[in-house]
Chains A and B, each alone.
Chain A
Amino acid sequence: MTETEFIDELIDILELEEKNVMLKTPILLDSLSTLSIIAFLDQNFSKKATANELREVSTINDILLLAGEENIR
């Protein structure tokens, strides 16, 4: 997955309305979006994110790190 595709997926999942979403764009996960991110990471990267890791997420880049930088082109 490219970085642009990754960001586009997260715009869709998190229903972000801001323009020019970037890796450093701040995000806030509620309970449903937390489940969506768990499913996204499992489905696309076979990665598991713990509740504690997800609680620390504050930007798009934090999710990219959970997906694994090696998995993003």
Chain B
Amino acid sequence: MQERLKLRNDIGAFDYNLGCSGYVYGLAIAKGLLSSKIASNVLLIVSETYSKHIYKKDIANRAIFGDGAAATIISENTSEEGIGEFVLGTDGTGKNNLIVSHGAFRACFDSEAEEIEYGTESIYTKNHLYMNGPEIFNFTIEKIPPLVSEVLEKNGLTIEDVDYFIFHQANKYMLNYLRRKVRIPKEKFYINMSDSGNTVSVSIPIALNNCIKEKTVTKGSKIMLVGFGVGYSWGATIITL
């Protein structure tokens, strides 16, 4: 990226690996780099090509996920005023419910991996993405409502103080259920994945960009961002545009 963007050599760059909570974690890292004066501007790029992880016969996941990328520049001033307090969390007991088992260092790509049937007429192999939808739904029902309460409390705000809520665009059914459970008004809650599907860590910045373009949010709007997924991993913050 440094070469292709023709950036100076005295700019640090690194990769981090995370799923659907990745954008919120990226903002947390950026805020840390800015507030500690290690950097004065941060270019945060989140990028996903989950289509490469999904087996051709996995009709369930093929219908859910989409590829995408987003770039965000966060500068010194935004860290003071624009990015609020974070709540982050992890529960490794859920690791097997959303995973590509083979293809990395511990378990290499298996050229003879068997086809495994799951869910409703879907098939995957251990070289490909597996998602246990019901367990992921259980995880979100358990973790996301308290996460919303905790991040509100940490930022000294109530649901009424927040202008708009952008959750990771996992799936419409799940988001609608979470919205009702947390008691967020429908008009303050973003749901739109019709153009791109679930783009993992990219879904929040795509939503944010759409909201800015559509003027759903404007300068000064307080927006809660909530990411959750593989790991399990979750994170939330409140930004001010």
Contact = CB atoms under 8 A, between A and B. Distances in A.
Interface in A25-60: 30-32, 34-36, 38-39, 42-43, 48-51, 54
B3 interface: no
Interface string B128-154: 000011110110011000000000000
Contact residues on B (Cβ < 8 Å of other chain), bracket = 10 to 19
State the main secondary structure of chain B at its contact with A.
Answer: helix
Given A31-B60, A35-B137, A38-B137, A51 B132 contact: yes
Contacts of A51: 132-135, 138
A57 B122 CA distance: 19
Q: Interface of chain A, helix or strand or loop or mixed?
A: helix
B138 A50 contact: yes
Contact of B174 (A34, A35, A43, A54): A35
B90 to A, nearest CB: 20
A35 B173 contact: yes
A48 B142 contact: yes
Interface residues of A, number: 15
Nearest to B177: A39
B141 A54 contact: no
B124 to A, nearest CB: 14
Contacts of B133: 31, 34-35, 51
A69 B3 CA distance: 64
Interface of B: 60, 119-120, 132-135, 137-138, 141-142, 173-174, 177, 181
Given A31-B120, A34-B134, 15 more contacts: A31-B60, A31-B119, A31-B133, A34-B133, A35-B137, A35-B173, A38-B134, A42-B181, A48-B142, A49-B134, A50-B135, A51-B133, A51-B134, A51-B135, A51-B138
30 contacts: A30-B120, A31-B60, A31-B119, A31-B120, A32-B173, A34-B133, A35-B134, A35-B137, A35-B173, A36-B173, A38-B134, A38-B137, A38-B138, A38-B141, A39-B137, A39-B141, A39-B177, A42-B141, A42-B181, A43-B177, A43-B181, A48-B142, A49-B134, A49-B138, A50-B134, A50-B138, A51-B132, A51-B134, A51-B135, A51-B138
